[in-house]
Structure 1
Amino acid sequence: MKTPIHITHVIVGLDVGGAERFLLRLIEAHRDDPQYAHRVISLTSKGTLGARLEEQGIPVTALGMKSLWDAPRTYARLKRALRTNRPDVLQCWMYYADLLGGLAGRRLGIRRILWGIRNSHFESGGTRLKRAVRRSCAIASRHLPWRIVCVADSALEVHARAGYDRTRMEVIHNGYDPDAFTYSDTGRRRLRRELGIPPDSLVIGSLGRYSAAKDHHSFVQAANAAMRQRRGLYFMLVGRDLTRDNPALASQIAATMHPERFLLLGQRGDVADCLSAMDVFCLHSRTEGFPNALGEAMSVGLPCITTDVGDARLLLGQGGRVVPAGDVPALAQAMIDMADLDAAQLHAMGARARRRIADHYTLDHAVDQYESLYQTAMALPY
């Protein structure tokens, strides 16, 4: 039997996020493929997804980094882990993992190093130390990685302009499995019944953790404006820290005078059912690369509203409406426009969204591109 390609992934953490979910999908796609053997090193903890990977027989190591000040100790632990289980290909995900993984890999003589870029805003906030890490990555991009994989065309352009080595960069978009991640009428009925949503109501929902980059503040403001002009609107928020225990979010929702119209579900394991319970999906972020949540909503067949961030416009195509990031009146108007469509129009828009995923952004296509990259890397001398 042919020896498998051993790939070690270095990632900051394994909580639920876009990069983490795609890493999980990529590894699961090779579950029954003897050509590829994966292991994962988290710089921090095993998070939510570590146990799921381990259940599938994937070795997962957590290095316990608490902050960037732990970087020297984490780097030493990472180097020991890579020396113990030396991979054929070292794949790093996002800035901190790129830098520490690249340095450790090169120190051990590993040449087949892949970096990952997951956002389209090189200097989008963060502490001075974090910005220094990003700038260091730009300088090191000429020496540490063999290839740099960007999740979006916009991510490639932004980082190339910021000093990354364009000659080493390429784009592999996220991929989705429209057969596995699909609409569930049973899930829709169950969840809407549990939440007490009236049958004639329109539910506009969003998916993603609470953070400044996701801009839930603008979503709530736009929802409040839309509610004043259209009856029967409900708003579902799914993701980490999207609960009544979040004081900033709860306070803003209470100020709308209709807190009962906001359904805060927190982090869930039944994401496809949550999306199925929605009538319209809304991505309201200020920054994105190639938004996983939008692709998942499209796979379920939802008509979508998205802010014009990263490659969201490219991904959505004719499957919904695009508005400027941070433009609350435009976002509110898009919600109103969706509320004015009849069921057949919403269904047709959602069908176009799902078809776009099936035609252009399947998981199989993304996995094929990564496999081609792995095979090309193996042709290099170690």
Structure 2
Amino acid sequence: MKSNGAIIYHVITNFTELGGAESALIRVINNSQSTPFKVISLMAKSLDMVDRITHPNCEVIALGSNNALSLLRTAFKLAANINRDAPLKVYSWMYHANAISAMASLLSFKKAHLVWGVRHSLDDYSGEKRSTKLAIQISKLLNFVPDKVIYCSQKAQMQHEQFGYNSPCKSVYVPNGYAFHDFQAKNYNNTPIVLGAAGRFHEAKDYRTLFNVVKRLKAQRLSVDLRVCGRGMNEQNKELIALLDSLGLSLDDVTLLGEVNDMPSFYQGIDVFILSSKTEGFPNVLAEAASYGCAVFSTDVGDAPYIINNSDHIAPVKDDAKLAGCIARFISLPPEVKEKVALKTTMHVRTNFSIETIARRFLEV
């Protein structure tokens, strides 16, 4: 691809599966049709992910890293790309890509504006993987390299500045953006109330708290069903089944859907969405669920309070009793009041997080 000095790089650690960062990257590119892009995955890419990009002038390459040592070597490969293409800007996504992009910037003789992207909070720094902690510490040492640091979460921005990840003068807050669709208000006359959750099977998602919430609601004889989707959220996951057993729950209490490609249908099929995480940045799933008219509830992580815009729907991290209480009080409301409460969050999300506005703000940094 010939850049003519106007190409923009997006550097990401891996481009094989759809997560929050990957979704945001794709939305930004697809809604910035006039600019040529190159997506550089430090590890691998998949055809499915490449096919999600509809931009007419975007190349996706993979540098082939598969371990910590080869990841460090990709700094030299990335520097070679920068020297060849002379990109106008380099946006990096998440800690590993930030560290490698800073190294590549120091190694390259053609300098591009470097903008780091942070999409994670430090709510549970001690629980992070060793490689993630190392990437954070390396970036902290190299924080003089980037021109700006984009945060999708106001809470995460404050945490990272206090941690010394970057100086406050470099921070820019740009929330996630979404391509909205028509939606239908939920009919809360129906029973049971269908609860939903979405996310991979991971300690950070704290599914123990979610399942305890459902257990508490059922103990109150409330008519609720729970549907959960995400990588590893299936009957073949022995660790997940053991967790349910330890809490006295069975597959009659929880519907495990595994990975779901049609998320609009998932959101349309539930009434209430619950996020039980211990740590998040800007939780995409909350904004997505709200945009489909769902009532949304969350632990107090990342920008969840800002997205939901309703303190009655927020509970402390790991506090299943408080979270269950929030949901039980909502369920006890008359149907027309439940619809009004859910609609308030829906309109807040649709007004403030349109992808056209957010993509423009992102590329203006």
State the TM-score, normalizing by the size of structure 1.
0.86
Post-superposition offset of 1:57: 5.6
Partner of 1:234: 225
Contact 1:214 1:285 in 2 (8 A): yes
Deviations 1:270-315 (A, max 9, x none): 1011011011011111111111111101111111111111111012
**Are 1:25 and 2:15 an aligned pair?**
no
Q: Secondary structure at the match of 2:53?
A: helix
1:21-100 alignment runs, 5 A limit: 21-30=23-32, 33-34=33-34, 36-47=35-46, 48-53=48-53, 58-100=58-100
Matched, 1:217 2:218: no
Deviation at 1:82, TM superposition (A): 3.1
- The residue identity in structure 2 corresponding to 1:39 is K
The number of aligned residues is: 355
Secondary structure of the corresponding residue to residue 105 of structure 2: helix
CA distance in 1, matches of 2:284, 2:101: 24
1:81 partner SS:
helix
Question: Structure 2: which amino acid aligns with 1:50?
Answer: V
Counterpart code for 1:97:
A
Kept in 2, the 8 Å contact 1:201–1:232? The answer is yes
Give the residue type in structure 2 aligned to 1:269. Answer: N
**Counterpart residue type for residue 363 of structure 1:** I
Query: 1:5 aligns to what SS in structure 2?
Result: coil
Partner in structure 2 of residue 105 of structure 1: 105
CA distance in 2, matches of 1:339, 1:51: 41
CA RMSD of aligned residues (A): 2.4
Conserved 8 A contact 1:323-1:331 = yes
1:59 alignment partner, SS class = strand
Distance 1:356 1:244, change over 3 A: same
What residue in structure 2 maps to residue 116 of structure 1?
117
Note the 1:324-335 alignment, pairs <5 A.
324-335=316-327
Greater shift after overlay, 305-314 or 257-266?
257-266
Long gaps (5+) in structure 2? none
Structure 1, residues 167-208: CA drift from partner, whole Å, max 9, x if none?
Answer: 1111111112223xx5369xx99xxxxxxxxx6211111112
Change (3 A) 1:345 1:258: farther
Q: Is the 8 A contact 1:230 1:339 kept in 2?
A: no
Counterpart in 2 of 1:338?
Answer: 330
Q: Aligned equivalents of 2:136 and 2:269: distance in 1?
A: 39
Identical pairs, percent: 25
| One-letter code aligned to 1:46 | K
Structure-2-length-normalised TM-score: 0.90
Q: Structure 1: which 5+ runs fail to align?
A: 190-198, 374-382
Aligned-pair CA distance for 1:159: 0.8
By how many angstroms is 1:80 displaced? 3.0
Higher mean C-alpha deviation, range 257-266 or range 276-285: 257-266
- Contact 2:272 2:296 (C-alpha < 8 Å) held by counterparts: yes
8 Å Cα contact 2:312/2:326 also seen in 1: no
Q: State the shift of 1:4 in Å.
A: 8.3
The alpha carbon displacement at 1:124 in A equals 4.6
TM superposition shift of 1:136: 1.8
Q: What whole-Å deviation, never above 9, does each CA across 1:46-104 have from its counterpart, x for those lacking one? A: 14523323796631112222232322332233233333433111110111101101211
Whether 2:288 is the aligned partner of 1:296: answer: yes
Query: Could you say which residue in structure 1 is the equivalent of 2:299?
Result: 307
Alpha-carbon distance in structure 1 between the residues aligned to 2:102 and 2:96: 10
Shift of 1:152: 1.2
Q: Using the alignment, how far apart are the partners of 2:160 and 2:308 within structure 1?
A: 23
> Contact (CA 8 Å) 2:42, 2:71: kept in 1 or not?
no
What residue number does 2:135 align with? 133
Quickly say closer, same or farther: Cα 1:50–1:124, change in 2 above 3 A.
farther
CA–CA distance in 2 between the matches of 1:120 and 1:306? 15
1:106 Cα shift?
Answer: 3.1
State the alpha-carbon separation in 1 of the partners of residues 142 and 20 from structure 2: 25
Rounded Cα–Cα distance in structure 2 between residues aligned with 1:54 and 1:63: 22
Runs of 4+ in 1 over 6 A off after TM superposition: none
Q: Is the 8 A contact 2:86 2:112 kept in 1?
A: no
**Equivalent AA in structure 2 for residue 112 of structure 1:** H
**Structure 1 pair 97–55 and aligned structure 2 pair: CA distance change class (3 A):** same
Retained in 1: the 8 A contact 2:176–2:282? yes
Match of 1:171 in 2: 173
Closer/same/farther in 2, CA of residues 56 and 221 from structure 1, 3 Å limit? farther
